[in-house]
Structure 1
């Protein structure tokens, strides 16, 4: 099957997949041919704050926001070619939201964020959501992550730097490569009761359902097929 064989993180090789992938398997945003991912732009994505951050980012030697979007568009065909999606291709769909990115960065504006999540789920009918690339990030906000759980939207880049307990609450929809351990101080998270925090980190890493399993046949459902360390 297709995978990045040169990576030490690649799963063991298995036979190439062939056969019926099950079509949508009853999952919104999935067909026999496509996986629809919405690219959400907040209402202030081109506002003064975004422009100021874009300028600082470029001064630091990083690509502009426009260039980052070009990079994303170039990487999607590479992803489709090199990863086993059981006959499907990832398709990006732009979505202009009413949520305000500056407010959401301060854990505010959840009503507008949820209106966006509702529209993406009901109108765009996407399987998942990423944020419009800006300042080297496609991570969505904490308010939108709350809404994604409510509307069943997969977030591969969920709200960054939140405690592991928050991702457990958002499970299985919200994922992130950046989070705080369970032993992080609760005093920095005003909406979390200190009594809810363990006195020590868990002995093992949390497991969550994976969306796609590395096996010779497709999952019966793209959302619940196997578990892996997160």
Structure 2
């Protein structure tokens, strides 16, 4: 399906290397936008996370960047065709290029649904490799960028496989960042966690706060948690 209709916006994902996915919509609905005025979405893809954030916080301005030209072009058009076009801007850059061009930019919130296949068998399509595959240095560079471009009370929020989340929780302190909240996501109540939505900031808390989130209550039946979270976005709820 190339056109995806949300309640308040439409996503055209034709040809986009990273389609709308559960990870992205969970991050878009869960990230803490309440006090954020300036927000950066790294690896925006179709622009769905940025659009969900714009719907949730009408006072924020969102920069959305993607290194892939097709993704950039699609997100730009999706933004222009939305009710929220005045508070969204797409940029065709990697995050390192973007910050080189904008060294003084500071954000209250940086979000990303990043590529996370480390050292895995790659696709013959280069665009899919960019959107899904990466290496450890990518995450170290991301932590450094967040340290330099978050406001003092800002947050970096990522949706990640559990193993990469644990790696970053152990590494972030080397960059002056601390994990302060973790939402542990599983598909079914009796299954292992498959993702973390993990939040880092410059402020160290006494302990990491955990929450639990389950997507399905049984085969093909979404949980009440999931329906409640996404009822303002998905037409099916």
Same fold (TM over 0.5): no
Of structures 1 and 2, the one scoring higher in RCO (CA 8 A, sep 6+) is 1
Which protein has the larger Cα radius of gyration, Structure 1 or Structure 2?
A: 1
